Structure 1
């Protein structure tokens, strides 16, 4: 038995003697090709560095990826196997830390294919542009792949089918146009698939490959331009999440999903489904999330929804549902979010709130959105029992009565909107006692009610919601003194206190606020043009300043462009402001609307600067004491939609020729001293003009037939001038005077962090004074769209008054 051992020893000695140098060389070569530093293999380190070379990294996110930093396992976003040292994870997701970084961009270098042991790859939220075929099919050990929210376009590489071990695939929010999904047939281990945002309208029968993914538990196909979907019989007992939102299924597609009894989350938002919610939905007993908003659902909300006892989130907003909230909903004790916003829901909320507030343990409800409905009655006192409530929206319903003090017990509340209802009584300190987490507070009215909601708060009250950002109390009663409790709200970004009965000065502490929007319009606030704003307000973020309808005096601050460089909306109209308009106003490069009307401004306008305001849409300088000639520059603002210079002392001729004009809809130059002929360009190049008001000037000459080209004209006022000759017969062709469009307001559109500028559109020039019979002048704003008018009186037209 010893002979074999002797033979083995002789053989081993032979190998060492004759092959030893070759074995040593082979060992050295292997080491030089792939030596390790720490846990990092050199081949993989070089591959990562090649990947970095092909991209832009403006935030220096990959600063640790350096040749002199040899242990790549400690680089940002790189994870290695602790035993083998091979890279198993690459996480360069920028979504989770978007506030601290910017997107990586460039191409994906195929060198990443050297990461043969990579199991997890997350590149979401970048801008890589394309997926190289030779890379994506080579990392065959991948289990998790997320390439969402990049700018990938074109086709999806079919080489994805090589990734047979893949469990998670997310290609959503890209620009793919997909015609073939055959690669899915090879991904037999796939559990999660998200192709949302891809164009699948041309895939046709290729969609059937999804039905072969027997392990699939989550499927997301939102916004894929789908109008039909194959029957997915393989998933009725396995699929837990199905998102088909923002497609165009229409009809009664919802019924095709009812057999998916294992679903925990179903999203059919904005899929154009119609008809009533089928009662058979009660068999989907596993549902925790049901999203059916933005559709054409009709009828009553079925009671059987309450049989879905696991339901946590129910969204039925923006449909045509009617009737009351089912009483049985009070038993949905796991419900965290309920949105019935913008439906025809009627009745009271008392029974629902009473029921759900009795849940044991306490109700889990966090979000209750019932705004824009036909709900009636008052807010029940039991609302205070919903201790988890964070969002409560009851705006624009038919609810009324006193607001209960129990609201003040909602210590988790972050957003409260009770606007546009018929509340009465008062709000006291008890109403806000424990609202320390409040960020948004809206309690506003369209008009001041006969008995406005009164804020009965003591002057030394310390406001608990010190994190409040957005405050809108329009048409409530806060005055006459400026509410002192505002001085503790150092996080306020938006204040809207329009018509709240303040007849006071802006206090000295007010400049401590850092604001994006300030609306104090239609009060009786007095003092100089707010020098406090000029002296200390941290206003570099200010986008909207509305002080219309107060008693401010003094002059417009000369350095307004320095204190508020990002201002977009400025209204100082209806005050006592005097002096000239500073040229610095033309340095507000973001300015969209400026209204300085009904003041005591004098002097001439700043001249060659208006054309540089490329966002300017509205200029209203009417009813002042301004004089001199109007520069061509003011006509040349590229987006100008409304120009009102009426009731001033402007003189001279209108420009004889203009090469550039904005999309003007309103021109009001009435009650000035303009003279000369009506320029031809006005009629040829203003196809969208709806209001032309030149009354009470010194215009002369004829009205030419070309003037009839203003087909959109709704109001034409040329009265009290020196025009002569015949009136062209084509004046009957103004089609804008034959139709009424009440949805066509004459104002700048837009919003700033929830402030709807259309609701206060008259602040930005949405008003026109029109003379009617017997010298009576009326002001139109909200009803302006219903008015059609031609006034040619007090001119010198010939005897052929209407040329035929």
Structure 2
């Protein structure tokens, strides 16, 4: 009893003091942590250093027994600053979550020393630097770690494999690079792995089947190459699989069919080949399947009808043939289907009219027959839930169903570029939720129904390129949300109604190539958001409205109206009175001020003319000089067989030898033989074209594949077989769906051949400059080409390969409209650049070559590629060649566009064949980006990775393609 009393009297107070000291440790640690922060919203105002315990503070949770801090959750508090060492005093902390703040600096490598820490979430901050290599070396209790959406760089540390208790890893949306750590697949307890939106590369190693507990893996948008791991099917509880937007190739591994629990498979944006496998129907838990933007061929398997819980199917931008199988009628839960830009044929299957689909996109195929729905099927019953219906760019015929108005939930209806005839049914006015209606480029007749005013949510109305007649109905003013009104190339007549002025949100108007008459309503000046107003080639008369947009309207937008008058068309308006003095609307001075402005403008024009003449003279002299140098070099070769001497101190002959000792054919994959032997490659009839490095032929391999063969004409400059093969094999490892694949090579001492994939739709040059106007590239196609070129070049630069010879003839377009950059890296085959070869390159690529190539010492850098890309961007947007020779002038594209931009008339530079059918909020930033890339100063040019990011920000989301709720 006495001992018990002594214990209570002496030891208990000591234990109480020790406990209080521990609690004060937590208080001290949190106060020190707070002292290093900025708290603009005073979220941590309850944190008081005089408190004995922090357990009642905001964001703090304690163990109810020990009163020690176990959780610190400060998500979304708008805090900034560094994550300080004060947290290291929280020895019993289990959960640390600081997500969605503005913390910066590097990750504290000592955080895992908190022995009981189970959850670390530092996502959505501004942390930078690399993940410390020692961070995961003391992580025995760590269960979940997230550094997502920061600015981290460097490699994923190998020490991650030490954290055997980890179940969740999320490093997405950073700048992490390098290959996957070798021990990643040892984390057998891992349930969720998200490394998406990084710069990770290399092949994905096998062994993933060890992750038998894995439920979700997301590797989207990295730079992985090679094939999908063949043992991926070993992750049998996998529910989400996302390897989209990488550079993976080959077929889909058969082990995927074992993923019977998988609900989401996303493999789009790669280079997978082969057919959609029949075993896909065994993935009976699939709710979302995305195989878009690959090279898949063949037919859609009938077994896909077994996926009765499937909600989303995306097979767009492949080479799939045949029709949509009737078995898909069993996919009763299907909400969205996108099979656009394939090679589908036939008519619409009946099941489309019987399901609860919300989004249907079949554009860019060869579907035909009639758009009439099957007899006995009511649109009101069958498609009442439909929100997006895109049947554009097919060969549908027939009339638009008269009861189309019952599709009351429709947001987008696009049947453009088909062969529809008949009139626009009045029931379109019943589409009260529709935002985009595109019936352009068909054979529609009749008038625009007055009932169109009932489509009150309409933002885009496109009826151009039809045979419509009559007047614009005044009821259109009820569509107050309209931003685009495109009625060009019809037979519309009558006056342009003043009611148009009530559509105050209008940005793009195109009434060109019609029969409109009378004067323009003066009220049109109320359209304050106008960016384009094209009324060219009509019968309008009188003066243009004064003020607002019409003070700066482009002359081309009003041309072809013989009776229009005013300063813009340079035609006086008739009047019985003395001609008044027309003042500059931007001037607040007197008529003398106006005279001064006109005189100033003449001076400016004179200076501009002088500059243009000077630039043309310089370019002409440059071309003449380069030509003379080339002639001189070749004549020197003809006069003397002596070898050329280079700065490297070694001699190389400019003419190839004619003594082949042996031949060696190497294919990186597939059959290693030609149908008719190597000599058949040199047949003139199979020649595709000639370039600076050689002649290109087409031939067929034994496996039936067509390939393109480049016979190099620079044999004498190649040092040895070993070096040639080393460089070629490096180029053969490059795989990206926007790059032409090098499939093999052929070698003899006097003949070298490069074997490429055959791209059948020709070069970008052909599509821009040689094709008929009726087959011109649309704006969306042009933007996709620019973005694809940028992605291909960015991939090259990431692999330390410089293209050197960018031009539109080296950009090929495949059957699905995707661009493929070809002829890359060939400069690496030449250890020393021959002056005679170099001069011919500059001449053949005139306008694309960066200014630094004019220097005596040529230094090939990635910035030279960026310059060439910038010129290509302007070529794609304007449809003009980089340098064009007029009768008495030379026009340099970069200078022309830059001058137009400075004068505020950049839209005049857009290819006239687009006829205003382009979004200015995309086109103008793209033009500016092209000019930045083509800067004269290399350091001012962005990296290609930055260019890709900028283009993705510029790209407007496709109307009606928003995620369905």
Q: How many residues are aligned here? A: 610
List aligned pairs for 1:696-735, cutoff 5 A. Answer: none
Structure 1 Cα separation of the partners of residues 270 and 161 of structure 2: 30
For residue 455 of structure 1, the aligned residue among 442, 448, 456 is: 448
Q: How big is the shift at 1:371? A: 1.0
Q: Please give the alpha-carbon distance, in whole angstroms, between the structure 2 residues aligned to 1:764 and 1:485.
A: 37
1:165-208 per-residue CA deviation (whole Å, 9 max, x = no partner) reads 4333222232211335245356332211122244443467xx34
**Matched-pair contact (CA < 8 Å) for 2:321–2:342:** yes
Quick one: distance in 1 between partners of 2:448 and 2:119?
57
Contact 2:203 2:226 in 1 (8 A): no
SS in structure 2 of the partner of residue 681 of structure 1? helix
Q: Which residue of 2 aligns with 1:216?
A: 214
How does 1:140-155 map onto structure 2 within 5 Å? 143-155=143-155
After TM superposition, the structure 1 = structure 2 runs for residues 15-26 of structure 1, keeping only pairs within 5 Å, are 15-19=7-11, 22-23=14-15, 25-26=17-18
| Secondary structure, aligned partner of 2:296 | strand
| Offset, 1:414 | 1.5
Partners of 2:20 and 2:403 lie apart in 1 by 79
Distance in 1 (CA, whole Å) between partners of 2:157 and 2:876 is 55
- Say if 1:148 and 1:172, in contact at 8 Å, map to a contact too: yes
Q: CA deviation at 1:215?
A: 0.7
Q: Which residue of 2 aligns with 1:661?
A: none
Check 1:420–1:86 CA distance in 2 against 1; reply closer, same or farther (3 A cut): same
When the two structures are superposed, what TM-score results if normalisation uses the length of structure 1? 0.63
Verify: 1:546 aligned to 2:534, yes or no: yes
Judge conservation of contact 2:203–2:225 (CA < 8 Å) in 1. no
Q: Give the equivalent residue in structure 2 for 1:726.
A: none
How much has 1:331 moved relative to structure 2? Answer: 2.7
Instruction: Give the structure 2 partner of residue 744 of structure 1.
Output: 768
Corresponding residue for 2:316?
317
Checking the alignment, whether the CA contact within 8 Å between 2:528 and 2:548 is kept in structure 1 is no
Q: How far, CA to CA, are the matches of 1:769 and 1:224 in structure 2?
A: 42
Q: What is the aligned partner in structure 2 of residue 787 from structure 1? A: none
CA contact (8 A) 1:312 1:334 kept: yes
**What's the secondary structure of 2:304's corresponding residue?**
helix
Offset of 1:598 from its aligned partner? 8.3
CA distance in 1, matches of 2:279, 2:259: 12
Identify if the C-alpha distance between structure 1 residues 72 and 305 changes in structure 2 by more than 3 Å, giving closer, same or farther: farther
Cα deviation digits, residues 307-357 of structure 1 (max 9, x gap): 233322222211222222222222321222222211221111143335xx1
Residues 390-409 of structure 1 aligned to structure 2 (within 5 Å): 390-409=387-406
Corresponding residue SS for 1:296: coil
Larger relative contact order (C-alpha < 8 A, sep ≥ 6)?
2
Partner of 1:430: 427
Distance 1:32 1:258, change over 3 A: closer
Distance 1:152 1:143, change over 3 A: same
Structure 1 residues 234-273: aligned runs within 5 Å:
235=234, 237-273=236-272
Closer, same or farther in 2 for the Cα pair 1:174/1:49, shift >3 Å? same
Cα distance in 1 for residues equivalent to 2:407 and 2:457: 15
Matched, 1:443 2:451: no
How far 1:128 sits from its partner (Å)?
2.5
* Aligned with residue 501 of structure 2, among 501, 507, 510: 510
1:482 aligned residue: 472
Which residue is equivalent to 1:472? 462
C-alpha separation in 1, matches of 2:106 and 2:877: 52
Larger displacement relative to structure 2 (570-579 or 469-478):
570-579
Distance of aligned partners of 1:163 and 1:755 in 2 relative to their CA distance in 1, 3 Å threshold: closer
C-alpha distance in 2, partners of 1:740/1:30? 72
Which moves more between the two structures, 303-312 or 409-418?
Answer: 303-312
Say what the alpha-carbon RMSD is for the aligned residues: 5.1
3-state SS of 1:657 partner:
helix
Check the 8 A contact 2:185/2:207 in 1, yes or no: yes
1:116·1:139 contact (CA, 8 Å) conserved in 2? Answer: yes
Q: CA deviation at 1:161?
A: 4.2
Deviations 1:388-412, CA, capped at 9 Å, x for gaps: 2211110011101111133222222
Cα 1:633/1:654, change in 2 over 3 Å: closer
CA gap of 1:17–1:87, structure 2 versus 1, over 3 A, is closer
- Alignment match, 2:339: 340
- Taking structure 2 as the reference length, the TM-score comes to 0.54
Alignment partners' CA distance in 2, 1:522 and 1:657: 38
Residue 297 (structure 1) aligned with residue 292 (structure 2):
no
Q: In the TM superposition, what whole-angstrom CA distance separates every residue of 1:750-804 from its partner, at most 9, and x where no partner exists?
A: 959999999xx99989899999xxxxxxxx9869xxxxxxxxxxxxxxxxxxxxx
- Distance in 2, matches of 1:549 and 1:413, equals 34
The structure whose residues are more often helix, as a share, is 2
Question: CA 1:254/1:486 → structure 2, altered by over 3 Å: closer, same or farther?
Answer: farther
Which residue is equivalent to 2:196? 196
Q: Secondary structure at the match of 2:482?
A: coil
CA distance in 1 between partners of 2:437 and 2:60 (Å):
45
Q: CA–CA distance in 2 between the matches of 1:370 and 1:234?
A: 31
Residues 268 and 292 in structure 1, CA contact (< 8 A), matched pair in contact too: yes
- The separation in 2 between residues aligned to 1:128 and 1:495, in whole angstroms, is 46
Gaps of 5+ in 2: 79-98, 574-578, 585-599, 632-690, 693-762, 787-874, 888-910, 915-965
Which secondary structure state, in structure 2, belongs to the residue aligned with residue 130 of structure 1?
strand
Q: Tell me the secondary structure at the aligned position of residue 34 of structure 1.
A: helix
Distance 1:81 1:161, change over 3 A: farther
* Correspondence 1:48-127 to 2 at 5 A: 50=36, 52=37, 64-65=43-44, 80=61, 86-87=70-71, 89-92=73-76, 104=102, 106-108=104-106, 110=108, 123-127=122-126
SS in 2 for 1:683: helix
Answering whether residue 359 of structure 2 is matched by residue 380 of structure 1, we say: no
The answer to whether the aligner puts 1:47 opposite 2:4 as a matched pair is no
Which residue pairs with 2:712 in the alignment? Answer: none
How do residues 682-693 of structure 1 correspond to structure 2 at under 5 angstroms? Answer: 682-684=619-621
Deviation (angstroms), 1:305: 1.8
Distance 1:578 1:454, change over 3 A: closer
After TM superposition, give the deviation of residue 127 of structure 1 in Å: 3.7
Match of 1:532, SS? helix
1:13 is the counterpart of 2:30: no
| Partner deviation per Cα, 1:525-570 (whole Å, 9 max, x = no partner) | 5676764343x3342xx54443433426535856549x99xx9999
Over 3 Å counting, the alpha-carbon distance change for 1:140 and 1:408 in structure 2 is farther
Do 2:482 and 2:503's aligned partners in 1 also have CA atoms closer than 8 Å? Answer: no
Structure 1 Cα separation of the partners of residues 62 and 475 of structure 2: 58
Q: In 2, Cα distance between the equivalents of 1:336 and 1:633?
A: 62
CA distance in 1 between partners of 2:25 and 2:173 (Å): 40
| Distance (whole Å) between structure 2 residues aligned to residue 479 and residue 763 of structure 1 | 32
1:464-499 C-alpha deviation (Å, 9 max, x unpaired): x43332222213466643333332233333332323
CA distance, structure 1, for counterparts of residue 494 and residue 341 of structure 2: 37
Pairing of 1:313-712 with structure 2 (within 5 A) = 313-354=312-353, 357=354, 363-381=355-373, 382=377, 383-384=379-380, 385-433=382-430, 435-445=431-441, 449=443, 452=445, 454-458=447-451, 462-463=453-454, 465-476=455-466, 480-500=470-490, 501-508=492-499, 510-525=501-516, 531-534=522-525, 536-539=526-529, 542-550=530-538, 551=540, 553-554=542-543, 560=549, 571-575=557-561, 578-580=565-567, 628=602, 631=605, 634=608, 657-658=614-615, 680-684=617-621
Greater displacement, 115-124 / 215-224 = 115-124
Distance 1:710 1:203, change over 3 A: closer
Deviating runs (4+, > 6 A) in structure 1? 67-76, 111-118, 134-140, 527-530, 567-570, 596-604, 704-711, 746-750, 752-758, 761-771, 780-783
Q: Is the Cα–Cα contact under 8 Å of residues 93 and 122 in structure 1 kept in the other structure?
A: no
Deviation (angstroms), 1:233: 6.1
8 Å contact from structure 2 (residues 194, 217) kept in 1: yes
Inter-partner Cα distance in structure 1 for 2:298 and 2:886: 47
Q: Deviation at 1:90?
A: 4.9
Given the superposition, is the C-alpha separation of residues 781 and 162 from structure 1 closer, same or farther in structure 2, using an over 3 Å criterion?
closer
- Following the alignment from structure 2 to structure 1, what is the Cα–Cα distance between the partners of residues 63 and 210? 36
* Contact 1:545–1:569 (Cα < 8 Å) also in 2: no
